[in-house]
Amino acid sequence: MNTDIVIIAVSSIILVSYFFDMFSGRTRLPSVVLLILSGLGLRLASDWTGYDIPYIGYVLAPLGTVGLVLIVLEAGLDLELRTDKAALVRRSLASAASGLLLCLLGIGGAYMLLFGVPPRTALINALPFSIVSSAIAIPGARLLSEARREFVTYESSFSDILGILAFNFLAQNAAFGPGALFSFVLEVLVTLLLSVAFSLGLTALVERVSHPVKHLPVFAILLLVYSTAKLMHYSPLLLVLVFGLFLNNITLFIRGNMRLYFSLDKIGEEVRQFKSVISETTFVIKTFFFVLLGYSADIPRLLNREALAVCLPVLLSAYLSRALPLRAVLPAGTAAALTYVAPRGLITILLFLGIPPSLRIGLIPDSVLLWVILISAMVMTWGVVKHAGDEEPAAAARAPAPAEPPAGA
């Protein structure tokens, strides 16, 4: 293919994605939906003209993995650990954990009835569809009030992390006995300790390196450690999240005599620059991932009746399992508004593609992914528009003002 055509195509995709993101507030559609639809349009144009984008299968998974690391890192860089947020953290964690468990059991039970598979196979195939995607939920909730957006930020970030931990547990353990659970908990604790030590060392590197190019090399080190930890069957996204939290809440970790070895003012300025680099890199990676995802779809198979039949129990479980925990931890009005914010996205795709071949239910078509992502995003859009002008309950209005949530993840 002509090099100039490639450059024109790449530049056009980035600019179109930028306009989608700028005007998503007016169109009321998440930019991710527009990107997937653009990819589908490119597929139709490609089939018509005979031009084909090569190596999609080789590019999509690595691109998605980098995007996932960026999204979790960006979420960590936006989360603040303060005493006045303790109640918010508890509620969002409880909602994320209980919603994930209920949805997993609902979809897993449906798979056992539909396909006659054993519990472990059903659960690991159900898990990708049980996680609320922070990549879509956080920017999708921008029309809601500040308090509700902040709850969505924490809850969806917790859902990502808990979902990946559960996926690793199911993938690595054939049995769910006390020994397997103890080994898994020990692994998580070791990962947390190593993450704090790694974050401290990487922060020192960020502060002391005087070369003008240092933020992308730091991210490259993070990716290197992530992939190495994944090969060793640890939970590397915990490391990414801890590093983001460490940087954004540096004053909580650098205390006492440690402040003699670190300049908090300099680190603060470096963190602001690092956030900007990560935000723009995330935007580019997400753009190409979702466009290529739409492009890679087999359009005739999207209308497969089997795919639509599998979508129904998945979506039904997703919203039922979300409504119950929200009503238990939030006021009725807020719970009703946030029930619609249950999108599936990047993490769903990556975990679905990461299911071991021996545990994959072959009767679940790949087109289910696009249907679930598109429908859940449309439902979220409708719900957010419907509740955009709602007032917060009086109790919430008397609570301390929440911090400004991130622009998007």
Write down the domain spans for the chain: 56-398
Q: CA–CA separation, 342 vs 403, rounded Å?
A: 23
Q: Which of left, alpha, beta for 355 (phi over 0: left; psi -120 to 50: alpha)?
A: beta
Other C-beta atoms closer than 10 Å to the C-beta of 390 total: 14
Q: Which residues contact 60 (CB under 8 A, 6 or more apart)?
A: 289, 292, 293, 296
Is residue 132 within 8 Å of 325, Cβ to Cβ? no
Please give the full DSSP string across 149-181, using - where no structure is assigned.
HHHHHHHHHHHHHHHHHHHHHHHH-S--SHHHH
Nearest to 139 by CA among 358, 409, 339: 409
Inform me whether the pLDDT recorded for 4 exceeds 80: yes
Q: Tell me the C-alpha to C-alpha distance, in Å, between residue 267 and each of 79, 81, 206, 238, 258.
A: 17, 17, 8, 22, 13
pLDDT single digits (tens) 17-33: 888 887 766 666 778 88
Query: Does 408 have pLDDT greater than 60?
Result: no
For residues 261-279, give the mean pLDDT: 82
Residue 99 has pLDDT above 90, yes or no: yes
- Site of tokens 């009703």: 336
Provide the pLDDT for residue 395.
Answer: 40
Q: pTM score, two decimals?
A: 0.81
| Token output for 266 | 């300099």
pLDDT of residue 24: 67
pLDDT at 361 over 60: yes
Burial string for 338-348 (b: 16+ CB within 10 Å, else e) reads: bbbbbbbbbbb
- Write down the architecture of domain 56-398 according to CATH: Up-down Bundle (1.20)
Query: 277 or 1: which carries more pLDDT confidence?
Result: 277
Range with lowest mean pLDDT among 30-39, 169-178, 211-220: 169-178
Grouping H, G, I as helix, E, B as strand and the rest as coil, residue 262 is coil
Query: Does the CA dihedral 269-270-271-272 come out positive or negative?
Result: positive
> Quick one: pLDDT at residue 365?
81
Range picked from 9-13, 43-47, 237-241 for highest mean pLDDT: 9-13
Contact 341, 62 (CB under 8 A): no
**Of 343, 341, 345, nearest to 386 (Cα)?**
341
